[in-house]
Amino acid sequence: MAKPLHEPGLIVDGFRLEEVAHMGGMATLWRVSRADATTPMLMKVPKIGEGTDPAAIVSFEMEQMILPRLTGVHVPKFIAVGDFATQPYIVIERIPGKTLLTRLPELSLPYAEVADIGMKIAQALDDLHRQHVVHLDIKPSNIMFRPTGEAVLLDFGLSHHDQLPDLMQEEFRLPFGTAPYMSPEQLRGIRNDPRSDLFALGVLLYFFSAGVRPFGESETLRGMRRRLWRDPVPPRQLRPDYPLWLQEIVLRCLEIEPGWRYPTAAQLAFDLTHQSEVKLTARSERLRRDSFTTVLRRRFNQDLTRSRVKSPLAGQIASSPIIAVAIDLAEGSGLINEALRITAGRILATLPSARLACVNVLKQGRLTLDFTLDEQGHNKQIDRLVALRHWAEPIKLEEHRLTAHVLEGVDAAAAILEFAQANQIDHILIGARQDSLMRKLLGSVSAKVAAEARCTVTVVRPNRTAEEQKSSTPDEKAPPSAG
């Protein structure tokens, strides 16, 4: 029968309890070792006894179900689990370092550092959401960073898995979470919307950059419900030097209606990475909260945030991809670029939440000295940015759905691949030139991108129908003719 574990030196299923690493309200973390293992490990043991909150037991069951299904650098590596019939526990890798909670005495942090922290957390959330999980308890104490820099998400006891029973929702009617970070829809009992995690990350970004939480410290359900109709004080009211781009991002994350936030964590990470490309709206310059009449309208709008997300997480992510199109601005590329524009337009017409990143590579010489001005004295990078936006004009995208990027590199394919990996690109469109002596000697940029990219790649040829265009995924090799 399960019992509390309280004595160092005990052996549980081959794991030896060394010392207590952390004593929480619902569980205790032990440093443990095992004779056949060299990996530093932690054992999480739920607190069991008189007066134990039933929700603590159910949340531990949820974590036992979810953690074994998660992989990657953004979650702790799962090692073992113990049954409630004998001794419940979860053993995971012990990640060196401390949680983000230890940074609170340093607030507020420099804006650039806040953006970097937020970008890494958003990348971790994107990875988690692609594994069918909404975390629902994003806060500083549940975030660590590996020595290699990646954010690691902790504690999945309140999480929702799209393909598992949601015991928390089935057995309880009150919303669960950490009060300052809970989204409006969580307060309504909606647990399957990944944009709830983006709201919590918005709270964290606000807190770490402004030094105060956007909704205060209220722990009462009545106090928390005010965020169903009341927006936070704009950060620029608190700090006049607050960057416009950061306020735009933070207030978009904190929108009351989920549909007004970023559709995916990947798109949020993209904006935090490319700050100069953030499309500024009226949000960015606000100095006051919404008017009293707006608040009243929200207060009595019973439909706000009530709609439940019915599509699976994978479907929501697939409907909001980041698409990169590689544009060749050299002479003679007109037909290819026109074919790329037609293909991009068709894809974007079916995906109203998708974003388009127009990319061009400013090729550098391996041994020669590169100049920023051309023969006419024009800045090469600015001229190419203008040309990329001119290429995209006929597609008629809203401003916030379009960005332009001039990359630099000696290898065009490598530059495109690096950009795609760093920015969670879902789909690359790239043109294939006709056969030429240079292509035969040096190989094809499009073929290399199609062969090595970790996302879907569509290689487009001019004057061909859509059926003749070549597509490949990360598991496929581009055919010899694609490129």
Per the model's pLDDT, the better-predicted residue between 206 and 408 turns out to be 206
Q: Is position 265 within any domain?
A: yes
Give the pLDDT confidence of 112-148 residue by residue, as tens digits.
999 999 999 999 999 999 999 999 999 999 999 999 9
pLDDT of residue 302: 56
Q: Are residues 466 and 333 in the same domain?
A: yes
Q: Are residues 340 and 259 in the same domain?
A: no
Highest mean pLDDT among 48-57, 373-382, 451-460: 451-460
pLDDT band at 104 (very low <50, low <70, confident <90, very high): very high
Q: Are residues 248 and 351 in the same domain?
A: no
Model confidence, pTM: 0.88
- Mean predicted confidence (pLDDT) in 416-440: 82
Whether omega before 108 lies within 30 degrees of 0, making that bond cis, reads yes
Highest mean pLDDT among 303-317, 349-363, 457-471: 349-363
Q: Are residues 68 and 108 in the same domain?
A: no
pLDDT of residue 50: 60
pLDDT of residue 298: 79
Residue 6 pLDDT > 80, yes or no?
A: no
Q: Is position 119 within any domain?
A: yes
Backbone dihedral angles phi then psi of residue 311, each to the nearest 5 degrees? -80, 150
Give the pLDDT confidence of 215-234 residue by residue, as tens digits.
987 667 778 888 888 899 99
pLDDT of residue 353: 92
- Mean predicted confidence (pLDDT) in 393-414: 92
Question: What's the rounded Cα separation, in Å, for the pair 131 and 263?
Answer: 17
Q: Are residues 309 and 326 in the same domain?
A: no
The total domain count for the chain is 3
Number of Cβ within 10 Å of residue 56's Cβ equals 17
Reading the block at residue 364, the tokens are 């550098």
- Mean predicted confidence (pLDDT) in 281-288: 95
pLDDT of residue 481: 36
Q: Coil, strand, or helix at residue 184? A: helix
- Rg (C-alpha) for the chain, rounded Å, is 25
Q: Which amino acid is at 349?
A: A
Share of the chain above pLDDT 70, in %: 86
pLDDT of residue 235: 97
Report the candidate in 183, 178, 108, 194 with the shortest Cα–Cα distance to residue 143.
178
Domain with residue 355: its CATH number is 3.40.50.620
Give the pLDDT confidence of 286-340 residue by residue, as tens digits.
999 888 888 888 787 655 545 455 567 888 888 999 999 999 988 778 899 999 9
Report the candidate in 148, 143, 97 with the shortest Cα–Cα distance to residue 124.
143
The alpha carbon dihedral of 154, 160, 163, 169 has a sign of positive
The alpha carbon dihedral of 147, 149, 155, 161 has a sign of negative
413: containing domain:
321-472
pLDDT of residue 168: 87
- Mean predicted confidence (pLDDT) in 152-157: 96
pLDDT of residue 72: 97
Q: Which amino acid is at 67?
A: L
pLDDT of residue 479: 38
Q: Are residues 289 and 180 in the same domain?
A: yes
Q: Coil, strand, or helix at residue 335? A: helix
Per the model's pLDDT, the better-predicted residue between 372 and 180 turns out to be 180
Q: Is position 44 within any domain?
A: yes
Q: Coil, strand, or helix at residue 224? A: helix
Q: Is position 33 within any domain?
A: yes
What are the angstrom distances between the C-alpha of 383 and each of 141, 214, 348, 369?
Answer: 46, 41, 25, 20
80 Cβ neighbours under 8 A, 6+ residues apart = 13, 15, 89, 90, 91
Of the three residues 299, 316, 333, the one that is the final residue of a domain is 316
pLDDT of residue 378: 63
The mean pLDDT of the chain is 87
Question: What's the rounded Cα separation, in Å, for the pair 33 and 38?
Answer: 8
pLDDT of residue 468: 47
pLDDT of residue 27: 86
pLDDT of residue 305: 45
Rounding to the nearest 10 degrees, give the CA dihedral for residues 294, 296, 297, 299.
120
Q: Are residues 455 and 364 in the same domain?
A: yes
Q: Are residues 226 and 343 in the same domain?
A: no
